[in-house]
């Protein structure tokens, strides 16, 4: 006998089916609620509302569990490459050797970006935020690839996936180069995906560039840790935009914009700015913890708290260890790492944070590593976007292949009731 939920409204009892996920998550299917009762539900921020069923990523916020297609984030971060994880998220299985070789070879088919893209990037002022430029360039890709994607064609989907992974990486590096006034670099098809990003970011024509394997490995792991996170703000945005059958590039462009916000992916930049402010202020973490607790102060402890995790964000644990390893390996001594650790310890011992289950999230330590890798602070959220790209693609494809309806929520109107029009003379 399948489980049902009963709801009594105005003396009438309505029954709604309960669905159970593969990890025993329960949801009440209210798709017939309005038709049967005239009522809708309301849930600002969708804190209690599921938008879809999905086979891609599983989170358990209470246990601090994160899995991509059933594989633990710990295993993937320590044993897989970022491109293997891209393949896993998008196509559902880890690739074998020949599948991975074909995937990398197909990505290399699309690593040359249309030269006219440079005219678009030249139109931006030097101080434009990288995320604003990247969102625009991603949307502009539609202009150079106008043919709508037939999601029923596996071959077209495969090519579109590889093209997106290739072009987005090159454009991300161009955003940095433009801001620095350096010549734009091209992808080198003889080198790996992550190594190429570093080369396109930092190689200058006057010197030979050799990517440090420690940095390549650290970046590869960081990208894996950011690759997907079920229905977060930017992924939900990609799904909703895609639900109108807008193209993949347009949907991803919208996801970049959503990720930019300091409450979401923009937090990694905000964390470093916060840690720098604490350092400049003399390192008094208690003062900033008090500000974070003060309801009259808009200041929040950036990199802390999470909509789903009410335990440690498993990614934060891995990144915290990686920060120690990478900085030690590179011989970097960054005082903000010590401030971050002191801040974390103090916050985790504070009743306000404990009572609200506020723990460090993925953004708390990531910026410290990015900085040690030589990546400028304003590029940190672009790094998050590069990591999240395969998740956005996978979720967009799942939404389209499932034939999901256009995302169009209802509302409760609380404005003026009907009133007569007044001529301007009588207003």
Catalytic residue positions?
A: 306, 363
Residue spans of alpha helices (H) in 263-412: 267-280, 285-293, 314-330, 335-348, 351-355, 362-372, 380-401
Number of neighbouring beta carbons within 10 Å of residue 281: 11
Number of neighbouring beta carbons within 10 Å of residue 53: 13
Residues 74-133 that bind ligand SDX (CB under 6 A): none
Q: Residue 168 or 380: which CB sits closer to ligand SDX?
A: 380
Of the residues 64, 255, 305, 314, which one makes contact with ligand SDX according to CB under 6 A: 305
Does position 199 bind ligand SDX by CB under 6 A?
no
Q: How many helices (H) and strands (E) does the chain have?
A: 18, 6
Does position 302 bind ligand SDX by CB under 6 A?
yes
Of the residues 44, 45, 403, 415, which one makes contact with ligand SDX according to CB under 6 A: 45
Smallest separation (angstroms) from ligand SDX to the CB of 78: 19
Q: Residue 137 or 302: which CB sits closer to ligand SDX?
A: 302
Under 8 Å between Cβ of 226 and 390: no
Residue 4's DSSP bridge partners are: 17
Q: Tokens 């069923």 — which residue?
A: 53
CA proximity to 232, closest of 19, 57, 42, 28: 57
Only one of the segments 50-58, 104-112, 318-326, 353-361 lies at the binding site for ligand SDX (rule: CB under 6 A); that segment is: 353-361
Does position 362 bind ligand SDX by CB under 6 A?
yes
Does position 321 bind ligand SDX by CB under 6 A?
no
Does position 291 bind ligand SDX by CB under 6 A?
no
Of the residues 167, 179, 199, 229, which one makes contact with ligand SDX according to CB under 6 A: 229
Does position 331 bind ligand SDX by CB under 6 A?
no
Does position 356 bind ligand SDX by CB under 6 A?
yes
Site string for ligand SDX, 143-182 (x = CB under 6 A): ----------------------------------------
Q: Is 162 exposed, middle or buried (0-12, 13-18, 19+ CB in 10 A)?
A: buried
Q: Residue 195 or 228: which CB sits closer to ligand SDX?
A: 228
Does position 304 bind ligand SDX by CB under 6 A?
yes
Does position 232 bind ligand SDX by CB under 6 A?
yes
415's tokens: 């404005």
Of the residues 306, 320, 371, 400, which one makes contact with ligand SDX according to CB under 6 A: 306
Does position 300 bind ligand SDX by CB under 6 A?
yes
Only one of the segments 165-173, 185-193, 306-314, 324-332 lies at the binding site for ligand SDX (rule: CB under 6 A); that segment is: 306-314
Under 8 Å between Cβ of 287 and 297: no
Cα dist from 196 to 33, 100, 387, 391, whole Å = 52, 17, 15, 21
CA distance 354 to 347: 8
Smallest separation (angstroms) from ligand SDX to the CB of 365: 11
Smallest separation (angstroms) from ligand SDX to the CB of 303: 5
Does position 393 bind ligand SDX by CB under 6 A?
no
DSSP codes joined into one string, 161-214? HHHHHHHHHHHHHHHHHHHHTPPPPPP-TTS-HHHHHHHHHH--TTS-----HH
Under 8 Å between Cβ of 7 and 13: yes
Q: Which residue sits closest to ligand SDX, CB atoms considered? A: 305
Of the residues 157, 219, 241, 301, which one makes contact with ligand SDX according to CB under 6 A: 301
Of the residues 69, 363, 379, 396, which one makes contact with ligand SDX according to CB under 6 A: 363
CA proximity to 89, closest of 191, 169, 183, 161: 161
Does position 303 bind ligand SDX by CB under 6 A?
yes
3-state SS class at 66: strand
Where on the chain is the footprint of ligand SDX (CB under 6 A)? 45, 229, 232, 263-265, 267, 292, 300-308, 356, 358, 361-363
């Amino acid at each position: 006998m399948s489980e049902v939920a009963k709801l009594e409204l105005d003396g009438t009892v309505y029954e709604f089916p309960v669905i159970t996920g593969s990890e025993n998550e329960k949801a009440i299917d209210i798709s017939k609620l309005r038709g049967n009762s005239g009522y809708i539900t309301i849930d600002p921020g969708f804190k209690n509302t599921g938008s879809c069923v999905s086979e891609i990523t599983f989170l358990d916020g209470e246990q601090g569990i994160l899995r991509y297609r059933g594989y633990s984030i710990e295993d993937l971060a320590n044993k897989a490459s970022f491109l293997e994880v891209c393949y896993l998220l998008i196509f559902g299985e880890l690739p074998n050797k020949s599948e991975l070789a074909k995937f990398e070879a197909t990505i290399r088919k699309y690593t040359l970006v249309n030269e006219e893209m440079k005219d678009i990037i030249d139109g931006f002022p030097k101080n434009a935020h990288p995320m604003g430029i990247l969102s625009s360039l991603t949307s502009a890709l539609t202009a150079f690839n106008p043919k709508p994607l037939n999601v029923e064609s596996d071959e077209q989907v495969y090519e579109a996936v590889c093209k997106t992974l290739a072009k987005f990486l090159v454009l991300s590096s161009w955003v940095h180069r433009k801001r620095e006034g350096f010549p734009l670099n091209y992808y080198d098809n003889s080198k790996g995906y992550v190594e190429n990003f570093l080369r396109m970011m930092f190689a200058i024509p006057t010197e030979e560039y050799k990517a440090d394997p420690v940095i390549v490995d650290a970046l590869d792991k960081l990208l894996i840790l950011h690759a997907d996170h079920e229905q977060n703000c930017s992924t939900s945005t990609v799904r909703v935009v895609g639900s109108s059958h807008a193209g993949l590039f347009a949907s991803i462009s919208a996801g970049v914009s959503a990720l930019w916000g300091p409450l979401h992916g923009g937090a990694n930049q905000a964390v470093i700015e916060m840690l720098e402010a604490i350092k400049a202020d003399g390192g008094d973490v208690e003062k900033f913890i008090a500000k974070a607790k003060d309801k009259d102060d808009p200041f929040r402890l950036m990199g802390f708290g999470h909509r789903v995790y009410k335990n440690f964000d498993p990614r934060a644990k891995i990144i915290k260890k990686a920060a120690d390893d990478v900085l030690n390996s590179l011989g970097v001594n960054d005082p903000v790492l010590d401030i971050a650790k002191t801040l974390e310890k103090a916050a985790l011992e504070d009743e306000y944070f404990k009572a609200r289950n506020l723990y460090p999230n993925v953004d708390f330590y990531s910026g410290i590593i990015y900085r040690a890798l030589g990546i400028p602070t304003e590029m940190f959220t672009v790094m998050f976007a590069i990591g999240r790209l395969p998740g956005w693609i996978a979720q967009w494809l799942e939404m389209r292949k499932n034939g999901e309806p256009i995302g169009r929520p209802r509302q409760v109107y609380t404005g003026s009731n009907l009133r007569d029009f007044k001529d301007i003379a009588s207003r």
